[in-house]
Structure 1
């Protein structure tokens, strides 16, 4: 019978604690900051519940080395609750330079937390009855390195000749996912070869904020950020798989220790925020109603950000309905706003609106005809005329109501 043993790790990265987003109000920003920090506690509890041997955080734990003191303190308070060993890797947002947050005593002295300051292998405690589990780091010492630090870490290691399991933790773009001319690209072929030769068994990477495999045999993954940081685009691009952590099982055959490890990876959702970028064509009141219904149907408005670009031509009535709906639903969202740069929505009064109703009578009707003539042109004056017509329609509609 084949003798095997397995090590289980929780792989996460890019927490970027203290991250700020300019489209959030002060109230929403405070909640976003706090939820990113509370997410650390969620991860620690999940690792304990799932029987993980270790947690590896593959870079950009903090958004900056210049942290707001309250963010640093609350982050430390969360990390202090860890019962599973935690390994933190400095990334490009929080490099291990002279001003590094990792030099702060409250972080350096955390009981179950180890900062990966070099390529020295760390033996994970608590596995006395099993072959060793080693964690090796490839920390960044500057925001932009001049070489492949993951490859350099691999070069310090010999192939494993026994049943021990090795996990290498790195941060950065790979040779198949990034600027091909950058000096610090991680050589993915080199990573695959190292795993095939059992120099390492699993490479836990951070940098991109969406979880994705980098090899067919699961030997290397990006974990993505535990909470969203950027928008899911209309076509499915952008940040399309954030808000997860990875539960990674690495299994080694003790009778054939030189054979590559078998790796299985499970994505576990832990995030609570969502950022959506929407696009819609608008040519009728029905289109407006469909778009508003689509936005309203989104769950958890208080932790959802929506930006949107609309194209088409609306009547005064349809545009008034859109603006009224925007005013009503926006306060319930963390943020909801137009992408002005991409907006191509025109508003023109139709013949029925000009011939009947409040826009056709008396002085208002005379003013509307003048504005309609001006609105046909181009430039700033025409835009002002169109804006005046929209405002006038809404005011008259309110009076009629």
Structure 2
């Protein structure tokens, strides 16, 4: 009974420049660790092969060191790997793949599907019909050749492709590199392994996107998995088991603070997040000076706990209560400045006014503490 692991969209060489240097380096390293984990999973599940449905590399120009590290990371699984070029690493006449071969980096157990055709893994019972991208974008369905492709009797027919299943994915990617929705049926495939959509997604009972094994963007689309496929024989339906591979969880929150309970709920959510989290947080609405202090303290704690937290507070206004103002003991000219800054938050320079108000409140609080001591 053939059993294999389906993965895709590793995007090796991707840079995470929007993050702090330390965090970006950790996110890069997690992608190499994901390959090593795929190898371990294949061994644990006694897989016959690992199929990679495109975009192993994020670009043709990745460093030689990245190429070598990618293939080094596969060493944990000594069975066959089949790697298909996708749109980011298309099989051009001169490509990341030809460079990998010149470097002597490709192990003997890795099959590079650089040309359309079939890779027969007879000892494993697999016939893999490959539709590699030989340019970044194509407007014809490269998997159409699967219909007329003959495979040895007794081997299960596996399609391996990278592209957009037409009519079933979001419109923004439903354009180039098209794939017929019922290709598994027309080509008599026992299983159709797809890449390009970065989340795990079932198209029909024989057709799946595995998604990327390590999330790299803020989309709640089921990223961070690989698929273990069991086939009892030709013509039988596959048994598909998603297995978690992600080290980091990516979250994107957009929250409006209006009343104190909104802040309470936000801080409870922060506390509940696991440590290997990457959080993009954007806040708007308003918060009191006391609430601002609680928020800043919570964000400081979160920065030390999580892999990364980025918080945009440009849309959040400071709305000091009468108790806030009274506690600051700001009278005379300072009191007038505070009222002016509160008003300015309604104008174009709202963010600067809010920050100035926060700084002034902090200075007044520090002075109050010094006097009391």
TM-score (normalizing by structure 2): 0.90
Q: 2:190 aligns with which of 182, 185, 201?
A: 201
Q: 2:300 aligns with which of 304, 324, 327?
A: 327
* Residue matched to 2:248: 273
* Residue matched to 1:137: 130
Q: 2:341 aligns with which of 371, 383, 401?
A: 371
Q: Is the contact made by 1:280 and 1:311 (CA closer than 8 Å) also made in structure 2?
A: yes
* Residue matched to 1:347: 318
* Distance of aligned partners of 1:394 and 1:360 in 2 relative to their CA distance in 1, 3 Å threshold: same
Q: Is the contact made by 1:320 and 1:394 (CA closer than 8 Å) also made in structure 2?
A: no
Q: Is the contact made by 1:82 and 1:112 (CA closer than 8 Å) also made in structure 2?
A: no
Q: 2:143 aligns with which of 144, 150, 169?
A: 150
Q: 1:226 aligns with which of 213, 220, 225?
A: 213
Following the alignment from structure 2 to structure 1, what is the Cα–Cα distance between the partners of residues 73 and 84? 17
* Distance of aligned partners of 1:37 and 1:322 in 2 relative to their CA distance in 1, 3 Å threshold: same
* Pairwise CA distance, 1:72: 1.7
Q: Which moved more, 1:285-294 or 1:19-28?
A: 285-294
* Distance of aligned partners of 1:27 and 1:266 in 2 relative to their CA distance in 1, 3 Å threshold: same
Task: Classify the secondary structure of the residue corresponding to 1:121.
Answer: strand
Q: 1:173 aligns with which of 145, 164, 174?
A: 164
TM-score (normalizing by structure 1): 0.84
* Pairwise CA distance, 1:101: 1.3
Following the alignment from structure 1 to structure 2, what is the Cα–Cα distance between the partners of residues 394 and 352? 15
Q: Which moved more, 1:89-98 or 1:160-169?
A: 160-169
* Distance of aligned partners of 1:264 and 1:107 in 2 relative to their CA distance in 1, 3 Å threshold: farther
Q: 2:357 aligns with which of 377, 389, 397?
A: 389
Q: 1:185 aligns with which of 178, 184, 193?
A: 178
Following the alignment from structure 1 to structure 2, what is the Cα–Cα distance between the partners of residues 169 and 207? 12
* Pairwise CA distance, 1:178: 4.9
Q: Which moved more, 1:309-318 or 1:261-270?
A: 309-318
Q: 2:15 aligns with which of 11, 20, 36?
A: 20
Following the alignment from structure 1 to structure 2, what is the Cα–Cα distance between the partners of residues 279 and 202? 39
Q: Which runs of 5+ in 1 are unaligned?
A: 1-5, 232-237, 254-259
Q: Deviations over 1:325-378 (max 9, x none)?
A: 3234224332211346xx632222222323x22243455334324434x42652
**Over the residues paired in the alignment, what is the CA RMSD in angstroms?**
2.3
Q: 1:116 aligns with which of 113, 117, 123?
A: 113
Task: Classify the secondary structure of the residue corresponding to 1:248.
Answer: strand
* Residue matched to 1:248: 229
Following the alignment from structure 2 to structure 1, what is the Cα–Cα distance between the partners of residues 17 and 293? 28
* Pairwise CA distance, 1:54: 1.0
Aligned length: 365
Q: Is the contact made by 1:209 and 1:229 (CA closer than 8 Å) also made in structure 2?
A: no
Task: Classify the secondary structure of the residue corresponding to 1:36.
Answer: helix
* Residue matched to 2:66: 71
* Pairwise CA distance, 1:400: 3.4
* Pairwise CA distance, 1:299: 0.8
Following the alignment from structure 1 to structure 2, what is the Cα–Cα distance between the partners of residues 126 and 318? 65
Q: Is the contact made by 1:151 and 1:191 (CA closer than 8 Å) also made in structure 2?
A: no
- Runs of 4+ aligned structure 1 residues displaced above 6 Å come to none
Q: Is the contact made by 2:67 and 2:105 (CA closer than 8 Å) also made in structure 1?
A: no
Q: Which runs of 5+ in 2 are unaligned?
A: none
Following the alignment from structure 2 to structure 1, what is the Cα–Cα distance between the partners of residues 51 and 362? 56
* Pairwise CA distance, 1:243: 0.8
Q: Deviations over 1:62-90 (max 9, x none)?
A: 11111123322211211244312100000
Q: Is the contact made by 1:209 and 1:239 (CA closer than 8 Å) also made in structure 2?
A: no
Following the alignment from structure 1 to structure 2, what is the Cα–Cα distance between the partners of residues 112 and 376? 63
Following the alignment from structure 2 to structure 1, what is the Cα–Cα distance between the partners of residues 223 and 176? 27
* Residue matched to 2:287: 314
* Residue matched to 1:290: 265
Following the alignment from structure 2 to structure 1, what is the Cα–Cα distance between the partners of residues 131 and 152? 22
Q: Deviations over 1:217-270 (max 9, x none)?
A: 2x1100000000211xxxxxx3321111100012226xxxxxx32211000001
Q: Is the contact made by 2:4 and 2:230 (CA closer than 8 Å) also made in structure 1?
A: yes
* Residue matched to 2:311: 338
